[in-house]
Amino acid sequence: MKILDFHFHVGTKEHWNPWVIEFFSKVNPFYIKNFSEEITPEDILKYLDSQGVRKAVILSEYAPRTTGVVTNEFVSNFCSKSERLIPFGSIDFSSRYTPSQQLEYVILELGMKGLKLLPSYSYFYPNDPALFTMYEKAQELKIPILFHTGTSIFKGSRIKYSNPLFLDDVADTFPELNIILAHGGRSFWYKEANWMLLRHKNVYIDISGIPQRQLLTHFPKIETFSDRFIFGSDWPGISDIKPMIEKLMDTGISKDTLKKILWENGNRLLSLS
């Protein structure tokens, strides 16, 4: 079965804040040993091969108060070595350039395929009208936006910004903009994430950070909405990807739906951009 990991991070000690490296050292000693000093596309491709993953969405991250800074330029260059590595950009909300201007740079100049936004790390409400010009441009460019939703353990995060319901206005105002809820509202807001799926055909769930064996508990209608769930690992925030996939395949979810989650849905979203 082909696998696309829609939620994958790269970076070294140079990019991540000390408390993030400390967390990685507890959950993923392999990353600390092999990648924390230097990380190359070739080594990541070898790792993906070892986990049975064909493609991965590589995420930029601008969150200096919480996790750190992995620049758009770093990720764009990193992914340029292989079509298996798909770059997503990030936005610096302290920049003199508007979010819309940054989006155009990320997509049109760097050639990135989507955007990752972190409301609880950058301290903004996703339904702030000041961001609607950016959403309009993203809809025009037909690129998906992945939003961090739900809890976070990292120092400096502000969880109040991560309720999926703040994206209700956005999904309704921009019906052709594909919105992905990373972590599905993890912990506090699973019900809200379910409601967003029911209400908006342009809303998807990235299942990273949700325990695989609890997936059907939190999302009992996953078969009904099988076209809108996407696999992500959040590596290196977990030790290995292969055990996650094995647990997912042991949940009782149908084979057809697993194919959609692991490959087809994410690949379709990327093909639209």
Find the mean pLDDT for residues 165-169.
98
Q: How far apart are CA 184 and CA 211, in angstroms?
A: 11
Cβ atoms of residues 71 and 59 within 8 Å: no
Stretch 175-186: mean pLDDT, rounded?
98
pLDDT of residue 271: 87
Instruction: Give the tokens for residue 209.
Output: 């950070």
Task: Say how far apart CA 160 and CA 137 lie, in whole Å.
Answer: 26
Pick one of 1.10.10.10, 3.40.1190.20, 3.20.20.140, 3.40.250.10 as the CATH number of 4-272.
Answer: 3.20.20.140
Total-model pTM:
0.97
Kindly report whether the peptide bond that precedes residue 129 is cis, defined as omega within 30 degrees of 0.
Answer: no
The whole-number pLDDT of residue 272 equals 61
- How does pLDDT run across 203-214, given as a tens digit for each residue? 999 999 999 999
Q: What is the dihedral of CA 251, 199, 169, 68, to 10 degrees?
A: 10
Q: What is the pLDDT of residue 188?
A: 93
